[in-house]
């Protein structure tokens, strides 16, 4: 027990200073929890001044704005869309002159969740005007492939949602290989696109060519799926091809 009043006052002063340091530690523009350390400090990113940021920890380059927004302050209304539309949006995006944007997988998307605040649980200086809502990841839900994982940027929690639903989108490019982020990513690339146990130029090869030329739906798979295929629908083929396409 501290009996010296001066010593007690000094201890209380140090505790107050320590609490103040914690309470103001969150500099990401978020409501401070006064108990959780900042997870995405602004100085951990490089702002390229062209609507993109690189997270120095992962090497991933992110669009500052959600799809549908633009400008330095990400003005405009963010667009929500189905999972399939989100994948397609990445194919045609040319932000900052880059043509290799992709929908982030779950691990990638979780890497920009800011833990020191909420509503929105993201660094609000780096990613302004981010809706405090669900954002799609490219990771399908293995037990039910009609659903995919999302990150809720209101709170930072993850969950699953039907791919037919409308959800917000933020695109990413580069960084480490997808295999290091996503446990659902194949450990080895294979050109057996339809999953029937054989790589055939007249089926698997044709599927690759059609996909690269932008064909989707029935036009992608017509007369190009082999006997005994484990992936026989356009959606399944498209998901697999997207998962093995180098980013």
Task: Kindly report, residue by residue over 18-51, the tens digit of the pLDDT.
Answer: 333 333 457 677 776 566 778 899 999 999 999 9
Q: Helices H, strands E: what count in the chain? A: 6, 7
Which residues, in sequence order, are bridge partners of residue 158?
151
Look at strands 134-140 and 60-63 and give their pairing: unpaired
Q: Cβ(112)–Cβ(55) under 8 Å?
A: yes
The dihedral sign for the CA sequence 239, 110, 179, 61:
positive
* Domain range list for the chain: 42-180, 201-244
The dihedral sign for the CA sequence 110, 116, 120, 123:
negative
Query: Is the confidence at residue 72, as pLDDT, over 60?
Result: yes
Q: Cβ(51)–Cβ(95) under 8 Å?
A: yes
Residue 229: both structure tokens together: 């295929």
- Can you give the pLDDT at residue 51? 97
| Interval 59-79 mean pLDDT | 97
- Can you give the pLDDT at residue 112? 96
Task: Kindly report, residue by residue over 176-187, the tens digit of the pLDDT.
Answer: 433 333 434 333
Q: Cβ(70)–Cβ(129) under 8 Å?
A: no
Per CATH, domain 42-180 is 3.10.100: yes
Q: State residue 242 phi and psi, 5-degree precision.
A: -65, -35
Q: Which of 134, 160, 135, 164 is nearest to 149 (CA)?
A: 160
Output the pTM of the full model: 0.64
Q: Is residue 142 classed as helix, strand or coil in its secondary structure? A: coil
- Can you give the pLDDT at residue 191? 73
């Amino acid at each position: 027990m501290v009996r010296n009043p001066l010593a007690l006052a000094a201890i209380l002063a140090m505790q107050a200073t320590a609490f103040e340091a914690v309470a103001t530690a969150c500099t990401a523009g978020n409501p401070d929890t006064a108990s959780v350390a900042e997870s995405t400090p602004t100085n951990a990113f490089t702002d390229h001044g062209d609507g993109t940021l690189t997270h120095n920890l992962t090497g991933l380059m992110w669009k500052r704005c959600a799809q549908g927004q633009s400008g330095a302050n990400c003005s405009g209304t963010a667009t929500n869309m189905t999972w399939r539309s989100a994948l397609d949006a990445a194919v045609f995006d040319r932000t900052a002159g880059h043509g290799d944007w992709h929908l982030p997988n779950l691990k990638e998307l979780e890497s920009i969740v800011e833990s020191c605040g909420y509503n929105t649980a993201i660094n609000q200086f780096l990613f302004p005007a981010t809706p405090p809502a669900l954002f799609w990841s490219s990771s399908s839900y293995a037990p039910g492939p009609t659903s995919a994982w999302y990150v809720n940027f209101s709170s930072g929690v993850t969950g699953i949602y039907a791919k037919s639903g409308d959800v917000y989108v933020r695109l990413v490019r580069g960084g480490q290989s997808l295999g290091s982020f996503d446990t659902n990513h194949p450990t080895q690339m294979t050109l057996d696109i339809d999953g029937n146990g054989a790589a055939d130029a007249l089926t698997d090869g044709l599927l690759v060519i059609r996909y690269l030329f932008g064909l989707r739906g029935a036009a992608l798979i017509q007369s190009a799926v082999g006997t005994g295929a484990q992936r026989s629908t356009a959606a399944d083929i498209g998901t697999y091809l997207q998962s093995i396409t180098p980013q």
